[in-house]
Amino acid sequence: MFGLVKGLGITLKNMTKPKVTYSYPDEPLEMPDRFRGIQHFDPEKCIVCNQCARICPTDCITLTGKKHPDPEKKGKVIDTYDINFEICILCDLCTEVCPTEAIVMTNNYELAVYSRDELFKDLEWLHNNNTNIRVENNSAKPKAPGGKSS
Amino acid sequence: MNLMMVVGPVLLLFIVLGFVTYAILFERKVIGWIQNRIGPNRVGPWGLLQTVADVFKLLIKEDIIPAKADESLFRLAPVIAFVPAFAVLAVIPFTEKIQFADFAVGLLYYMAISSITIIGILVGGWASNNKYALLGGMRSAAQMISYEIPLVMSVVGIIMSVGSLNLHEIVEAQQKVWFIFPQFVGFAVFLIASISELNRTPFDLPEAESELVAGYHVEYTGFRFAFFMLAEYVYVFAMASLTTVLYLGGWNAPFGLTFIPPIVWFILKFSLIVFFLFWVRATMPRIRVDQLMQFAWKVLLPLALANIFITAVFKEIPVIGKFY
């Protein structure tokens, strides 16, 4: 019998506790660092080594390179770079394997679109996806002070 | 016949509809808060138009009557369920002046009329020609009839103290002491039985979402379904009013705080009961079906009878007798 009253007391107290819900579509969710979001691509850094396309478990990356415009220099520069987000599983392997960190993860995750075609992201789109770039495992980004020393 | 005879009930109907609209929102808000959520907040500021949107959705839905259903009974059932819910409000004295019908057997009228709703539910379950609806209707009828007995028995104590079935006189008798104090056992039995009468958690077995298909209203959609729901919430209004009148002193102000108008006191006490119903709903798990009937007949009824007996005895004891 007393348990019923006790239960009522608990629920009454619960009413004043802070809410645990997020107002998600109104306010974007802060993702933790190390979150595997949509990739950011920097064509300046890319050396067209093709490692990302080869390691990709779903073969969602297609890239083409062209000869360096400066004939003095060796190697290639990137021409097209596309990720098909219909099949990309955001596994982070492409960014792990990239020797120059030309492709890195961001904390962005909103991929809902009205057409499948829109999920085919090209070089320009990936380059412009430059917000919330992941700091962790990214030497180009300064670590936050007070973080774990590596 | 003066104008108030026509305008009054219409006004009451709109007040009740407004109450139902915001009681549903408030119920969802309270349950949300208790579960550390915000509750509905998308439609209108603070979710104020949520119920309006829900009801609008129900009203524009296709009106489906199953092919094998008994059509005339199927149409009639929501009406039978709703009309008594509104009719019982006639005897509730909201304040000394705001009361539609002040007759000698007001309490009996309430109890008698409110049981007609059971017929509406049973007819709805029968006319649907659906085994789930029929079983739900049967369960509902069994539960509501069983719990009506302790409900009526628990108020006999009050009737004995006041010596009248007139709700106005019952409130008048509570000017010094509310009946919740001398009749506490009766109040507890009444409250439990009334929650069961309202088919609300923890006694919502007739329409237990997580166990049954839906209960007696499986086949109902659109505005007929809305009518069943409306009847249910109008009963919340009626039952909260009746509890206020019987046990919380109606419009009487406690501690001599008479500068606050009586209608405000009534609304405050009434809101407290309504909040309590929502609070219980968010707290209690559903009672088991095999314990449901035993609880009514073996616990509540003996308690209510004991309450009558105690009241009768205490009435004869010199000092305590004046409270009874």
pLDDT value at position A150? Answer: 46
Long-range contacts of B1-9 (CB under 8 A, 24+ apart): B8/B100, B9/B90, B9/B100
pLDDT in tens, chain B (324 residues): 677 778 888 999 999 999 999 999 999 999 999 999 999 988 989 999 999 999 999 999 998 999 999 999 999 999 999 999 999 999 999 988 888 888 889 999 999 999 999 999 999 999 999 888 898 888 888 898 899 999 999 999 999 989 999 999 999 988 888 888 888 999 999 999 999 988 888 888 877 777 777 788 889 998 899 999 999 999 999 999 999 999 998 888 888 777 888 899 999 999 999 999 999 999 988 888 888 889 999 999 999 999 999 999 988 887 777 777
pLDDT of A128 > 70? The answer is yes
Q: What is the ipTM of this complex?
A: 0.79
**Least CA distance to A12: which residue of chain B?**
B34
Give the torsion sign (CA, A9, A12, A18, A24): positive
Using CA coordinates, name the residue in chain B closest to A6.
Answer: B283
Distance CA A27, CA B202 (A): 37
Rounded-to-integer distance, Cα B187 and Cα B253, Å: 19
Residue A144's pLDDT band, with cuts at 50, 70 and 90, is low
Q: Which among B35, B283, B287 is the top mutation candidate for probing chain A, defined by the most A β-carbons within 10 Å of its own β-carbon? A: B283
Question: What confidence category does residue A139 fall into, taking pLDDT thresholds of 50, 70 and 90?
Answer: confident
CATH 3.40.50.1700 for domain A35-128: no
Residue B223 near chain A (CB below 8 Å): no
Nearest to B34 among A4, A14, A18 (CB): A14
Report yes or no: B158 and B183 within 8 Å, Cβ to Cβ.
Answer: yes
**pLDDT of B155:** 92
Contact indicator for A107, A31 with CB cutoff of 8 Å: yes
Cross-chain residue pair B283–A15, CB shorter than 8 Å: no
B36 contact residues in A (CB cutoff 8 A): 14, 17-21
Estimate to the nearest angstrom the gap between the alpha carbon of A59 and the chain centroid: 17
Beta bridge partners, A77, equal A66
Is residue A2 within 8 angstroms of chain B, CB to CB? no
Pairwise CA distance, residues B308 & B324, whole Å? 11
Best interface-test mutation with A: which of B29, B30, B33 has the largest number of A CBs within 10 A?
B33
Nearest CA in chain B to A18: B36
Bond prior to B262 in cis (omega within 30° of 0): no
Among candidates A53, A109, A107, A59, which has minimal Cα distance to A80?
Answer: A53
Question: Which residue positions of A form the known binding site for [4Fe-4S] cluster?
Answer: 46, 49, 52, 56, 88, 91, 94, 98
pLDDT at residue B1, as a whole number = 60
Tell me how close the Cα of A132 comes to any Cα of chain B, in angstroms.
28
Span A114-142, average pLDDT: 86
Q: Which residues of A are annotated as a binding site?
A: 46, 49, 52, 56, 88, 91, 94, 98
- Beta-bridged to residue A62, according to DSSP, are A82
Q: What is the pLDDT of residues A13-57, one digit of tens each?
A: 999 999 999 888 888 888 888 899 999 999 999 999 999 999 999
User: Greatest CA separation found in chain A?
Assistant: 89
> If pLDDT is split at 50, 70 and 90, which confidence band does A143 have?
low
Per CB-CB distance under 8 Å, the chain B contacts of A14 are 33-36
- What sections of B163-258 are H helices per DSSP? 167-172, 184-197, 222-247
Q: What is the pLDDT of residue B148?
A: 92
Q: Which residues contact B180 (CB under 8 A, 6 or more apart)?
A: B187, B247, B248
Domain segments of chain A as ranges: 35-128
How confident is the model at residue A146, as a pLDDT? 60
Which residue in chain A has the smallest CA separation from B34? A15
Q: Would you place residue A147 in the very low, low, confident or very high pLDDT band (cuts 50, 70, 90)? A: low
Rounded CA separation A64/B223 (Å): 62
Mapping DSSP to helix (H, G, I), strand (E, B) and coil, where does residue A102 land? coil
Residue A148 pLDDT exceeds 70 = no
The first and second tokens of residue B205, run together, are 């077995």
Q: Token pair 């490692």 is at which residue?
A: A51
Strands A120-121 and A76-84, by their bridges, are: antiparallel
pLDDT confidence tier of residue A136, bands split at 50, 70 and 90: confident
